[in-house]
């Protein structure tokens, strides 16, 4: 699969100086962690689940999580499992091209149970999302995935979710996160990304952010995000990818504050109606939060609506100028010091910017490099068919 492959050769030629690379489940955890981009969650009890996954894959979605946990009422879990098994068996029988596909389970025992029920169809599952992951309970989850590996004869990826009270509360946070990191390091090769469950975290204090408010404005959760990146997101070889939390809004919400999108870029790129579309669905808030995610060291984002996917992935494309800066830094080799950017508008300091430049090069492989003069507005308009 490949990001933006659904746009066709002509659109790709006009938008990208370097197009995104192809990837698949065997592309390696480090690259896949970057390439996940917008990961779309779907409840496992959807009657049209096979058609929905196929439709979204054709529309450019490259990673999907089918949820058996909070999205499913307790009394519907058995029916949701049946629906999931039937869907995945159908995909395996038909050889349907699929995005990276993960299952969010409720408890450790569900993992080997599902794999046994799926039989040979378990091959269409790339891994599992492990909710409410803790330093203590996480061990049982990882042992369950080990058992599933032995059933199918290959390794499943995992994405643990930080959303427990022990991780959130100030008096236990650092110890809990440090112990979680030690647990995950034992299975480092299978950990694709650490996810953050913002909705559950807000619930510990009875909070819910409005469409005018970023998760970074919710200080009790923002503090945890900073500590998760501090503990898990280091670039010294010991870290993991940390993904951005979900944005909950997608249509017809009352707004209190002014929009967060300037009109000028949309007029300059001749799509003023796109701005109105984004504002009507509170997607300006999502755009701002994705930018804050990257500024704070997060990679990709949990999404719950197809309209969010185009936004997250368009913002993941590396701008022409940013790529040039990264290549200049990496091209300096063992040299040190400071150089002016190609555009003569910023300082590129070789040693401090090298880790950033490597991350930018990885993102360029996964999402491509925009042509000079092509902006996020152009990429989003193409991705949303406008």
Confidence of residue 181 (pLDDT cuts 50, 70, 90): very high
Encode pLDDT of 259-295 as tens digits.
778 888 888 888 999 898 888 888 999 999 999 999 9
Q: Render pLDDT for 46-87 as a digit per residue (tens, 0 to 9).
A: 999 999 999 999 999 999 999 999 999 999 999 999 999 999
Residue from 23, 93, 94 nearest 63 by CA:
23
Bind-site residues: 200
Mean per-residue pLDDT, 296-307: 96
Q: What are phi and psi of 161, to 5 degrees?
A: -110, 125
Average pLDDT over residues 205-231: 96
- The pLDDT of 294-306, averaged and rounded, is 96
| pLDDT above 80 (res 258) | no
Whether residue 353 is predicted with pLDDT greater than 80 in this model: the reply is yes
| Res 186: pLDDT | 92
pLDDT value at residue 253: 67
pLDDT range class, residue 252, cuts 50, 70, 90: low
When pLDDT is cut at 50, 70 and 90, the band that residue 251 belongs to is confident
Please, which residues bridge with residue 158 across strands? 128, 191
pLDDT of residue 279: 85
Q: Considering the chain, what percentage of its residues have pLDDT values greater than 90? A: 82
CA pair distance 84, 111, nearest whole angstrom: 13
C-alpha R_g of the chain: 21
Alpha helices by DSSP H, the chain: 9-15, 29-35, 49-58, 77-94, 110-118, 137-152, 165-168, 173-185, 198-203, 219-232, 264-268, 272-280, 283-295, 306-316, 320-331, 350-367, 376-383
- 360: exposed, middle or buried (Cβ count in 10 Å: 0-12, 13-18, 19+): buried
294 in Cβ contact with 346 (< 8 Å): no
Closest CA to 21 of 4, 39, 37: 4
> Average pLDDT over the chain, rounded to whole?
94
Q: What is the pLDDT of residues 126-160, one digit of tens each?
A: 999 999 999 999 999 999 999 999 999 999 999 99
List the domains of the chain with CATH numbers.
5-317 (3.20.20.60), 321-367 (no CATH)
Give the residue-averaged pLDDT of 372-379.
94
φ, ψ dihedrals at 353, nearest 5°: -95, 0
Residue 351 scores a pLDDT above 80: yes
191 strand-pairing partners:
158
Residue 343: the pLDDT is 72
- What confidence score (pLDDT) does residue 336 get? 74
Angstrom distance (rounded) from CA 271 to CA 165: 45
Binding residues for Mg(2+), as ranges, are 200
Model pLDDT, residue 134? 98
pLDDT in tens, 88-112: 999 999 998 999 999 999 999 999 9
**Per-residue model confidence (pLDDT) at position 333:** 74
State if pTM tops 0.75.
yes
């Amino acid at each position: 699969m490949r990001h933006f492959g659904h746009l066709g050769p002509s659109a790709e030629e006009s938008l990208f100086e370097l197009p995104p690379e192809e990837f698949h489940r065997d592309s390696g955890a480090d690259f896949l962690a970057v390439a996940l981009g917008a990961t779309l969650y779907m409840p496992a009890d959807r009657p049209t689940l096979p058609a929905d996954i196929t439709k979204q894959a054709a529309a450019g979605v490259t990673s999907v999580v089918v949820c058996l946990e909070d999205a499913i009422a307790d009394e519907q879990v058995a029916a949701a499992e049946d629906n999931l098994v039937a869907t995945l068996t159908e995909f395996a029988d038909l050889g349907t091209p699929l995005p990276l596909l993960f299952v969010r389970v409720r408890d450790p025992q569900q993992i080997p149970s599902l794999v046994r029920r799926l039989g040979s169809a378990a091959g269409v599952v790339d891994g599992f999302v492990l909710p409410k992951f803790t330093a203590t309970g996480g061990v049982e989850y990882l042992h369950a995935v080990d058992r599933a590996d032995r059933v199918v004869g290959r390794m499943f990826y995992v994405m643990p979710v930080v959303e427990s009270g022990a991780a959130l509360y100030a008096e236990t946070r650092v110890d809990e996160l440090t112990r979680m990191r030690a647990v995950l390091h034992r299975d480092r090769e299978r950990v694709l990304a650490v996810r953050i469950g913002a909705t559950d975290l807000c619930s510990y204090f009875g909070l819910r952010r409005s469409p005018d408010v970023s998760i970074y404005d919710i200080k009790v959760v923002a503090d945890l995000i900073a500590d998760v990146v501090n503990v898990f997101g280091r670039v010294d070889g010991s870290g993991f990818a940390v993904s951005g939390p979900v944005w909950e809004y997608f249509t017809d919400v009352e707004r209190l504050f002014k929009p967060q999108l300037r009109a000028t870029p949309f007029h300059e790129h001749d799509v003023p109606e796109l701005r109105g579309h984004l504002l009507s669905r509170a997607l300006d808030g999502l755009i701002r939060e994705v930018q804050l995610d990257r500024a704070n060291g997060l990679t990709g984002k949990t999404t719950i609506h197809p309209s969010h996917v185009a936004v997250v992935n368009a913002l993941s494309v590396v701008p022409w100028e940013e790529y040039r800066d990264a290549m200049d830094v990496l091209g300096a080799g063992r040299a040190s010091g400071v150089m002016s950017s190609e555009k003569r508008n910023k300082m590129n300091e070789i040693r401090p910017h090298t880790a950033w430049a490597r991350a930018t090069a990885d993102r360029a492989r996964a999402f491509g490099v925009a042509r000079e003069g092509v902006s996020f507005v152009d990429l989003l308009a193409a991705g949303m068919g406008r």
